[in-house]
Amino acid sequence: MIYRALITTTCLALILVACGGEQREVREVREVVVVVTATPQPPPADAPAPAAVPPATSTPPAAPAVAEAPAAPSPTPGCVFSASFVADVTIPDDTVFAPGATFVKTWRVLNDGTCTWPAGTQIVHVSGPLLSPSSAAPAPLAAPGATADLSVSMVAPSTPGTHRSVWQLQGPDGVRYGKTFWVQIIVPNVTAAAQPPANPPAPTDTPVPAAPPANPPAPTNTPVPGPNLPALGLTPISPGIKPTLMIKLPPGLFGSKWVVPVSLVNARVVYNLRLGGPGRIAAQAVWSGSQGQMSLIVNGPGMSAAYARQDGGSGTMVIYDVTSADFAAGNTWQVTVASYGSGEASGSAQMSYPAAGGEAVFTHNFSVAPQGARAIFPIKLSKAGTVRAKMTWDGAPGVVTLRLFGPSQPNYYALQSGSSPLEMSYTVTDADLSKGSEWRVTLATAGYTDLLGTMEITLP
């Protein structure tokens, strides 16, 4: 009976499987078999003794231990990488370059995001002519709220015209972020006369000299005594201020025409001041950049050397008391911010001086680089009308740029680039004049060469 029962149940199992029965039913049949075969039988004589089987319990055996997965890191606040343009440290818009001229463009950019720019961030070309041997350059890191100076070496193209090259920051993951910024230059149609002379003149800080007085005063290196800036007509200034122009010029500063001898040397910014009489010229400058040491120089007619000069780092000041004898030699004087190194710098200069009708105060943001120079001519308008500027020079450079700036407008009102003689004009309207009467004419050179010539400014 036992064997018959066992065969029957086995066949039942096979029939269930063949009929598509579920695995659960097969297990149940096997359990029946176990029950049927559970009746003890005498083992064969040669059968080994059965192994001891532990009694069944209702507690299931413990599951094997499984290594627990590490907890996911807690989420961190997402970083927003961003950047926005602050200022042109070098090469302002519409700087003129001869074809093939090399220069370094530097932008000051603010990190207006929530995190420090990641390591591996680059400045990459986005659109417009490349103007650079490479389409990417490394960018320094900047913390949120900090600024960084971003520089790219560039070459002026051979094609005449206005060229704008647009750039942007890009993270190490290849994703660009922040606002774009650009360099815009002008390449004129130049002739062979604009090429470098075989023996360019040696740089000099000397303005076009007039006849020296009988007893010229000895040059001084006297800095402004103490920090009493208000006594000098100055107010404290600090590096990194927003690009602004402040001129406080008394009425009657100019007649209708101003003729100025011009001497421009590379890596200089020359402020031309028209004095109304004897008195104190006081100047201070603050800056930042790779050029740490610079000079503040006071030049005037009647002496080939500087009347006063002070060398030093950011915060340098210089003064000179113009005597009646000094003033008799001429009324146009210069304050120069001069670099003698290979670095670049940008900052602010402020000066006070005796003008017709009272003291004048002039504050201006500047940049200095090894190539190129600028001359600034502050003017005060008493009525609407046409402002004209004419620059005449001999020899190199072949091309210079004239601009006219006015209050309440960051861009120029007029621009003209070309060879000598170069003329620029703009008709100032009553609406223009209502924004302010303090204007300025600027002269800019680019490249290797110095300039000697004459500027003639005519006011309405």
In a domain, 4, yes or no: no
In a domain, 291, yes or no: yes
Identify whether residues 212 and 359 lie together within a single domain: yes
- The span from the CA of 179 to the CA of 107, in Å, is 12
347 Cβ contact list (under 8 Å, min separation 6):
239, 285, 286, 287, 288, 289, 314, 365, 366
Whether residue 408 contacts residue 435, with contact meaning beta carbons closer than 8 Å, is answered with: yes
**Which pLDDT tens digit goes with each residue over 229-255?**
554 455 555 444 433 444 555 544 445
In a domain, 28, yes or no: no
Identify whether residues 142 and 209 lie together within a single domain: no
Could you tell me the strand order of the sheet in which 345-355 lies?
Answer: 245-248, 358-368, 345-355, 279-289, 317-322
* Confidence (pLDDT) at 381: 86
In a domain, 267, yes or no: yes
**Which pLDDT tens digit goes with each residue over 275-291?**
888 999 999 999 988 88
Number of domains in the chain: 2
Identify whether residues 437 and 334 lie together within a single domain: yes
* Confidence (pLDDT) at 185: 87
* Confidence (pLDDT) at 230: 52
Could you tell me the strand order of the sheet in which 373-380 lies?
Answer: 308-312, 294-299, 332-338, 268-274, 373-380, 438-445, 400-405, 414-418
* Confidence (pLDDT) at 299: 92
Identify whether residues 398 and 421 lie together within a single domain: yes
Identify whether residues 212 and 135 lie together within a single domain: no
Paired with 402 in beta bridges are 416, 443
Q: Which of 161, 192, 223 represents a domain boundary (last residue)?
A: 192
CATH number of the structural domain spanning residue 134: 2.60.40.10
Identify whether residues 226 and 319 lie together within a single domain: yes
Identify whether residues 253 and 227 lie together within a single domain: yes
> Beta-carbon neighbour count of residue 168 at 10 Å?
18
Whether residue 399 contacts residue 451, with contact meaning beta carbons closer than 8 Å, is answered with: no
In a domain, 75, yes or no: no
* Confidence (pLDDT) at 55: 41
Identify whether residues 436 and 316 lie together within a single domain: yes
**How many Cα atoms within 13 Å fall on the side-chain side of residue 459?**
21
Q: Which of 163, 192, 221 represents a domain boundary (last residue)?
A: 192
DSSP per residue, 176-222: EEEEEEEEEEEE----GGGSPPSSPPPP----S--PPPSSPPPPB-P
Strand 161-170, strand 257-264: pairing: unpaired
Identify whether residues 126 and 149 lie together within a single domain: yes
Domain residues for the domain of 277 are 201-458
CATH number of the structural domain spanning residue 229: 2.60.120.380
In a domain, 410, yes or no: yes
Residue 347, SS3 per DSSP: strand
Residue 3, SS3 per DSSP: helix
* Confidence (pLDDT) at 337: 94
Burial class from Cβ neighbours inside 10 Å (0-12, 13-18, 19+) for residue 377 reads: buried
**Among 423, 375, 390, 429, CA closest to 406:** 429
Whether residue 113 contacts residue 146, with contact meaning beta carbons closer than 8 Å, is answered with: no
Identify whether residues 216 and 286 lie together within a single domain: yes
* Confidence (pLDDT) at 249: 52
Identify whether residues 142 and 210 lie together within a single domain: no
What is the mean pLDDT of the segment spanning 338-364?
A: 87
- The span from the CA of 36 to the CA of 6, in Å, is 7
Identify whether residues 322 and 411 lie together within a single domain: yes
254 Cβ contact list (under 8 Å, min separation 6):
274, 356, 379, 380, 459
Q: Which of 174, 192, 210 represents a domain boundary (last residue)?
A: 192
Instruction: Of 64-73, 206-215, 373-382, 428-437, give the lowest mean pLDDT range.
Output: 64-73
In a domain, 52, yes or no: no
Instruction: Of 144-153, 184-193, 272-281, give the lowest mean pLDDT range.
Output: 184-193
What is the mean pLDDT of the segment spanning 206-230?
A: 41
In a domain, 187, yes or no: yes
* Confidence (pLDDT) at 448: 55
**Among 175, 76, 167, 75, CA closest to 118:** 175
Strand 176-187, strand 95-96: pairing: parallel
